[in-house]
């Protein structure tokens, strides 16, 4: 049951496979949450990546399918220090290993995740592969180095819904969610205030306005927000929606808003992934602890200051965590106000958005 994690710099680490036994490629990233591995594994923002948890023991409370944030496991592979083989929780329906096998996802335990995290923080995220022990490691290392980066693909198109979906909610309003890789809990939070209509990432502005929304949410999602196919679809529609309906951008949706108004984005060295990111609201001075999962950020200097103000900053690295239009009911956050997993400090973002809806 042995296998290896092979990085593009030639590093090869052996361990024990406890998920599916097959070779996969992806971008190796780390998450600092102590809990919430089921939610992380099913978060579409991890699509195309190999997810590594920094907390040393994973799987101790098993898997509750009700905690899933999408229909399937999204990372191509999973890496942990130690996987619990005998979980204990009243809501556990299956073990982590069985969950991974059911979704044909390879996973490896026994890696020195502390050393790997230090390496990623120092050198940045890297392409990597998870392979069974039968693979020749030097050959795999060459394959990793020459393989195209997952972000060259339109990862959003791979996780977005294919047709319009409707979710009944509370109230008489309608919120349209543009699905760039939306987490279920964003939909659940929106349902607390309105009926929700989920549309594919490439829905046109006419498609969206034809649904007569009281507001639009641009969801989270994986990959490069400036991918040519995203610029031609999601970003274009966002630009056309501005001034015609209130808009809330979350994570990737925040980046799409910036691009729609002429801003630019850039790739972070190792990204923000976990439930302990401190964010300061510049309007109130209050600091919130936030749940995050993203590898790109908005360039503050690229935002048109006559139209947008930066409202939130990350206290770890000073990157933009929120912005608001100076005149229109349009604002966004880089973090996840719906949490899952993470703190609930930021539910007010949804309440603020609902207050901006048409007729509110």
pLDDT digits (tens, 9 = 90+) for 184-195: 999 999 999 999
Residue 70 has pLDDT above 80, yes or no: yes
With contact defined as beta carbons under 8 Å apart, do 42 and 72 qualify? yes
**Whole-angstrom distance between the N-terminal and C-terminal Cα of the chain?**
58
The pLDDT value recorded for residue 338 is 95
Distance CA 14, CA 16 (A): 7
Query: In this structure, are 192 and 340 located in the same domain?
Result: yes
DSSP state of 96: H
The pLDDT value recorded for residue 305 is 95
With contact defined as beta carbons under 8 Å apart, do 15 and 5 qualify? yes
- CATH number of residue 112's parent domain: 3.50.30.20
With contact defined as beta carbons under 8 Å apart, do 117 and 86 qualify? no
Residue 212 — left, alpha, or beta (φ > 0 → left; ψ -120 to 50 → alpha)?
A: left
The pLDDT value recorded for residue 344 is 87
User: If we measure between CA atoms, which residue out of 127, 109, 117 comes closest to residue 54?
Assistant: 117
Hey, which residues are catalytic here? 251, 336, 338
Query: In this structure, are 212 and 325 located in the same domain?
Result: yes
Distance CA 314, CA 192 (A): 28
Query: In this structure, are 162 and 122 located in the same domain?
Result: no
Query: How much of the chain exceeds pLDDT 90, in percent?
Result: 96
With contact defined as beta carbons under 8 Å apart, do 302 and 335 qualify? no
Query: In this structure, are 251 and 207 located in the same domain?
Result: yes
Query: In this structure, are 57 and 178 located in the same domain?
Result: no
Average pLDDT over the chain, rounded to an integer: 97
The pLDDT value recorded for residue 84 is 97
The pLDDT value recorded for residue 91 is 96
pLDDT digits (tens, 9 = 90+) for 158-182: 999 999 999 999 989 999 999 999 9
Q: What is the largest CA-CA distance in the chain?
A: 63
More confident of the two residues 344 and 215: 215
- CATH number of residue 325's parent domain: 3.40.50.880
pLDDT digits (tens, 9 = 90+) for 323-341: 999 999 999 999 999 988 8
Query: In this structure, are 146 and 235 located in the same domain?
Result: no
30 SS3 class: strand
Boundary (domain end) residue, out of 91, 121, 152? 152
Query: In this structure, are 206 and 339 located in the same domain?
Result: yes
Query: In this structure, are 57 and 185 located in the same domain?
Result: no
Residue 206 has pLDDT above 80, yes or no: yes
3-state secondary structure string across 228-280: HHHHHHHHHHHHHHCCCCCEEEECHHHHHHHHHCCCCEEEEEEEEEEEEEEEE
With contact defined as beta carbons under 8 Å apart, do 186 and 218 qualify? no
State how many domains the chain has: 2
pLDDT digits (tens, 9 = 90+) for 241-263: 999 999 999 999 999 999 999 99
The pLDDT value recorded for residue 51 is 98
207 SS3 class: helix
The pLDDT value recorded for residue 358 is 78
Residue 360 has pLDDT above 80, yes or no: no
Distance CA 201, CA 177 (A): 9
Q: 323-359 burial, b for 16+ CB within 10 Å, e for fewer?
A: bbbeebbbbbbbbbbbbbbbeebbeebbeebbebbee
- Tell me the residue range of the domain where 133 lies: 2-152
Query: In this structure, are 176 and 306 located in the same domain?
Result: yes
The pLDDT value recorded for residue 345 is 87
Query: In this structure, are 318 and 189 located in the same domain?
Result: yes
Boundary (domain end) residue, out of 124, 152, 180? 152
pLDDT digits (tens, 9 = 90+) for 292-317: 999 999 999 999 999 999 999 999 99
pLDDT digits (tens, 9 = 90+) for 116-149: 999 999 999 999 999 999 999 999 999 999 999 9
Query: In this structure, are 114 and 198 located in the same domain?
Result: no
Boundary (domain end) residue, out of 117, 152, 187? 152
Number of C-beta neighbours around residue 158 at 10 A: 16
Query: In this structure, are 341 and 352 located in the same domain?
Result: yes
Residue 342 has pLDDT above 90, yes or no: no
Residue 1 has pLDDT above 80, yes or no: no
Query: How much of the chain exceeds pLDDT 70, in percent?
Result: 100
């Amino acid at each position: 049951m042995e296998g290896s994690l092979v990085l593009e710099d030639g590093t090869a680490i052996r361990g024990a496979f406890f998920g599916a036994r097959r070779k996969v490629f992806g971008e190796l990233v780390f998450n600092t949450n102590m809990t919430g591995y089921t939610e992380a594994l099913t978060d579409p923002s991890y699509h195309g990546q190999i997810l590594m948890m920094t907390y040393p023991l994973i799987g101790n409370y098993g898997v509750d399918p009700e905690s899933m944030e999408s229909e399937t496991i999204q990372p191509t592979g999973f890496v942990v220090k130690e996987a619990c083989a005998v979980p204990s929780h009243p809501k556990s329906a299956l073990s982590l290993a069985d969950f991974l096998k059911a979704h044909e996802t390879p996973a490896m335990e026994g890696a020195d995740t502390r050393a790997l995290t230090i390496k990623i923080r120092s050198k940045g995220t890297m392409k990597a592969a998870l392979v069974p022990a039968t693979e020749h490691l030097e050959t795999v290392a060459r394959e990793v180095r020459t393989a195209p980066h997952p972000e060259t693909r339109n990862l959003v198109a791979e996780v977005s819904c294919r047709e319009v979906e409707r979710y009944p909610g509370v109230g008489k309003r309608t919120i349209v969610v543009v699905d760039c890789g939306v987490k279920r809990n964003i939909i659940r939070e929106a349902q607390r205030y309105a009926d929700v209509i989920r549309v594919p990432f490439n829905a046109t502005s006419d498609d969206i306005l034809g649904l007569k929304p009281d507001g639009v949410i641009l969801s989270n999602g994986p990959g490069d927000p400036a991918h040519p196919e995203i610029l031609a679809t999601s970003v274009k529609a966002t630009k056309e929606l501005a001034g015609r309906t209130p808009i809330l951008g979350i994570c990737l949706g925040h980046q799409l808003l910036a691009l729609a108004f002429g801003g630019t984005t850039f790739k972070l060295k190792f990204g923000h992934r976990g439930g302990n990111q401190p964010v300061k609201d510049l309007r109130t001075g209050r600091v919130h602890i936030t749940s995050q999962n993203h590898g790109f950020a908005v360039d503050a200097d690229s935002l048109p200051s006559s139209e947008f103000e930066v409202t939130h900053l990350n206290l770890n690295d000073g990157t933009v965590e929120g912005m608001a239009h100076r005149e229109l009911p349009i604002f966004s956050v880089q973090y996840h106000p719906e949490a899952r997993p993470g703190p609930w400090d930021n539910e007010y973002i949804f309440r603020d958005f609902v207050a901006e809806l048409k007729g509110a």
